[in-house]
Structures are given as structure tokens and as C-alpha cells.
Amino acid sequence: MPNSQVLRDRQKAQHGEFFFTKFILPDTGTVRKSPVFVLSNPADLNDDDVIVCKCTCQGPKSSYDVKVQLKHPTYIRTNKIFTISRNNLIFKIRDYSLPEEQYNEIIKLIKEALYIKQE
């Protein structure tokens, strides 16, 4: 059973935060643990699900990948967006916030990946 801090962090997980999470790989059914970048709107705090971008330590595979420095060099795959249960969030990655310029680049790439018209 997760401790009370983890439960609070899960419930308050919001846009711009990084969490370590578990995914079930559809091909094999195996569980994989990986960081994610939270996209959910702060107004969605009562939702049981959270929208995230996949992150990986594997090198970039497309122009949609943005390198950040968590514990290890990590790439946010801005074109790999998932909805997962908040219960799959294992813990919040603390003491890291994106510089504004890098955050803006990530949002720009997400919009391009989703083909959202830029203003």
C-alpha cells in the first residue's frame, strides 16, 4: 500500500510534473516502469485518469523528442500520449522543474504532433 504522501501526489498530479509510473506493454503484457510528463489540466484533479507523455532513456527517434535531465538523460516523446490511471503513478519525481524555454518547446511539439493549429 502506498504511503500517504504518494497518495496525495497521485491525486494532485498535474500539468508539467514528472512521475515514475508503470505501464503494461500491450504486446507482451509485461509491466514496465518509466518516467512520464503529466499533461492533464489542473481542473481534472478529480478524474481517476491522467494524460501523460511517455519518457525514455533511449535516444531520440524523431524530431518530437525533447531531452531533459532527470536522474539520467531522458527524452520526452511528445508524440506518444497516453491516458493512464492515477493508481499507476508510482511516485512524483521531485526537485525538477522545466526551464520556461524548454517547457514552451515541449508544448509546441505536442501541438505539432497532434496537428493543433499554432497561433
**Cα angle value 52/57/62 (rounded, 5°):** 75
Residue 95 belongs to domain with CATH number: 2.30.30.110
Domain count, the chain: 1
Q: Please tell me the distance from the alpha carbon of residue 79 to that of residue 2, in angstroms, as a whole number.
A: 30
* 46 part of a folded domain: yes
The letter for the amino acid at 42 is P
pLDDT digit string (tens) for the chain, length 119 residues: 678 998 899 888 989 999 999 888 778 888 889 999 999 887 777 788 999 999 999 999 999 999 999 999 999 999 999 999 999 999 999 878 889 999 999 999 999 998 887 66
In a domain, 119, yes or no: no
Kindly report the backbone phi and psi dihedral angles of residue 7, in degrees, each rounded to the nearest multiple of 5, phi listed first: -65, -40
Phi, psi for 21 (deg, rounded to 5)? -140, 175
> pTM of the predicted model, to two decimals?
0.89
In a domain, 32, yes or no: yes
